Structure 1
Amino acid sequence: MIHKIEIPTPFAVGDVNAFVVKGDALSLVDAGPKTPEAYEALKRGLKEVGYTINDIEQVVLTHHHPDHAGWMDAFDNAEVIGHPYNDLWLKRDESFMEYHDRFYLQCLKEEGVPEHYFNWVEKMKRPIRLMGDRTLDRIIGEGDEWDGHTGWIVMETLGHAQSHIALFNEKTGEMIGGDLVLEKVSSNPLIEPPADREAARPKSLLQYNASLTRLLDL
């Protein structure tokens, strides 16, 4: 069983989808932003298929962005699972946030942005308040099997986020793809700081094109 829950967001892109997946485990893929409206939508969507928040055993994040990683906090009985890059943003420790600010300020300078726009670095952190306060219980990555869901594997699909994964069932042809492909708008390849602070900036557009090519090949 795969059941879609449409969740409102305060962002211009509009609603985001979460998915209840029933196999040997009862899982929720993505959890909407941490707003009262999103919480009610999750409860309502679960009730439609006969479940409550306490029934969910796994919350799987397709990526760390606030509209996907908010209400994992509500699922006390669930294990939170995702790509290791999620935890940089979920932990949000002082060292990472300082690194975050230095990284984006350097990007603005390299791109020739006038100095009076440098306050954008602070503004871009505002949506973080809509993210959950839990961290990952377990990490997954390329080629891993999705525990509790026979036939499903994890695909690393970077570009939109450095934490982005898709879940794919080759036998049925079903995929839960997060923001890899969207119905009505393009999915933005976003500049994000590398997990390795000594590494070069990830080339998000090239990553995203590679992820789309991989999807086309399937």
Structure 2
Amino acid sequence: MVVDPGPPGEKPWETLRTGLEGHGLGVADVEEIVLTHWHSDHAGLGPRLAAAADANIHMHERDAPLIRDYGAERQRRVERDAETLRSWGASDAVVSDVRATDSPSPMPETVPVIGHTDSASVAGLELRHTPGHTCGHIAVHAEGTLYVGDAVLPMYTPNVGGSDTRTAAGNPLETYLRTLNRIARWDVSQTARPGHGPTVSLDDRIEVIRKHHRERVADVVNATPNDGATPWAVARTLFGEMSGIHAKMGAGEAAAHLTHAAQLGLVERVDEDPLTYRPTERSVEDVSRLLAE
């Protein structure tokens, strides 16, 4: 089995082949491929490897369509991203820039993918639903090892909000924090292999990520003026000038934390088109206490 073969391209393909050879294996020995989520830096080589090895691709059912029907779903995603960015208060110029820099991956229009639900078993390994970064993100539980994808990363915090705009319909930060709580209940002494970097200490890193999000919620509350602001305006205050994918990620980050702050009663939504928030009377005195709970 191969988990997250990597991005498309000749160099990643050769790196994959070299890695297999290092374990005494060839491409033809691969029988199953598991993709932790739909992002091309993880899934891009999946279709090529599956075709070359006559292997099956496995994903969570929430993310599977974005690879299975890549051509049609990519177009839907681009439109959804644009609509969501506008709802966050981004200008037409920003939306056009994000569209222009969102290049398609060299993947087939359609790909056979098997979609699974939480705790499904593939080749004796358990696929565990870990949503937040994307709707259908999964971790793979092998004997003594957890492949955690982008759910927990050693050097930076996974984006929540902009990395999958389908999550904007709910509270993506709350979903992600629940995922961290779920992972923390597993045997964190096991070796954890993230989607970027060699290994990660789950116990320590999860607490660092939780702290980051507590601080980021406080940041967005403090960046929201009394007369109200959109997620885009708050993102500009926090991150400065943004373009391309960074505009989508930054706005999504602000939107996710504002949504969570609203659920905590620290801000209130005062307009829908575009989304606009303002602080509540509770914000200044209660933000630290509420986020520590």
TM-score (norm 1): 0.73
Q: Could you tell me how far apart the structure 2 residues matched to 1:213 and 1:142 are?
A: 16
Q: Report deviation, 1:143.
A: 1.8
Counterpart contact for 1:193–1:202, Cα < 8 Å: no
The alignment status of 1:180 with 2:151, answered yes or no, reads yes
Bigger Rg, structure 1 or 2: 2
Q: Report deviation, 1:159.
A: 0.7
Q: Could you tell me how far apart the structure 1 residues matched to 2:157 and 2:108 are?
A: 26
Q: Could you tell me how far apart the structure 2 residues matched to 1:160 and 1:132 are?
A: 24
Change in CA separation of 1:84 and 1:39 when aligned onto 2, cut-off 3 Å: same
Aligned with residue 121 of structure 2, among 130, 133, 145 = 145
Taking only aligned residues, the RMSD between alpha carbons, in angstroms, comes to 2.3
* Structure 2 gap ranges (5+): 187-293
Q: How does 1:72-151 map to 2 (within 5 A)?
A: 72=46, 73-76=48-51, 77-90=54-67, 91-94=69-72, 96-123=73-100, 125-126=102-103, 128-131=104-107, 135-146=111-122, 148-149=123-124
TM-score (norm 2): 0.56
Change in CA separation of 1:131 and 1:205 when aligned onto 2, cut-off 3 Å: farther
* Equivalent position of 2:230 in the other structure: none
Aligned with residue 129 of structure 2, among 156, 161, 165 = 156
1:59-82 Cα offsets, whole Å, 9 max, x none, are 111111001111121333211111
Q: Could you tell me how far apart the structure 2 residues matched to 1:56 and 1:62 are?
A: 17
Counterpart contact for 1:53–1:75, Cα < 8 Å: no
Q: Could you tell me how far apart the structure 2 residues matched to 1:162 and 1:131 are?
A: 21
Change in CA separation of 1:54 and 1:202 when aligned onto 2, cut-off 3 Å: farther
Identity %: 24
Change in CA separation of 1:187 and 1:84 when aligned onto 2, cut-off 3 Å: same
Q: Could you tell me how far apart the structure 1 residues matched to 2:40 and 2:108 are?
A: 8
* Equivalent position of 2:236 in the other structure: none
Q: Which one-letter code corresponds to 1:185 in the other structure?
A: Y
Q: Which runs of 4+ in 1 moved over 6 A?
A: none
Q: Report deviation, 1:99.
A: 3.3
The alignment status of 1:55 with 2:29, answered yes or no, reads yes
Tell me the number of residue pairs that the alignment of Structure 1 and Structure 2 aligns.
181
1:91-140 Cα offsets, whole Å, 9 max, x none, are 1344x4453233222222222212221213413531x3155655244222
Counterpart contact for 1:83–1:141, Cα < 8 Å: yes
Counterpart contact for 1:30–1:62, Cα < 8 Å: yes
The alignment status of 1:210 with 2:174, answered yes or no, reads no
The alignment status of 1:166 with 2:139, answered yes or no, reads yes
Counterpart contact for 1:87–1:135, Cα < 8 Å: no
Q: Could you tell me how far apart the structure 2 residues matched to 1:116 and 1:100 are?
A: 19
Q: Could you tell me how far apart the structure 1 residues matched to 2:108 and 2:157 are?
A: 26
Q: Could you tell me how far apart the structure 1 residues matched to 2:113 and 2:66 are?
A: 15
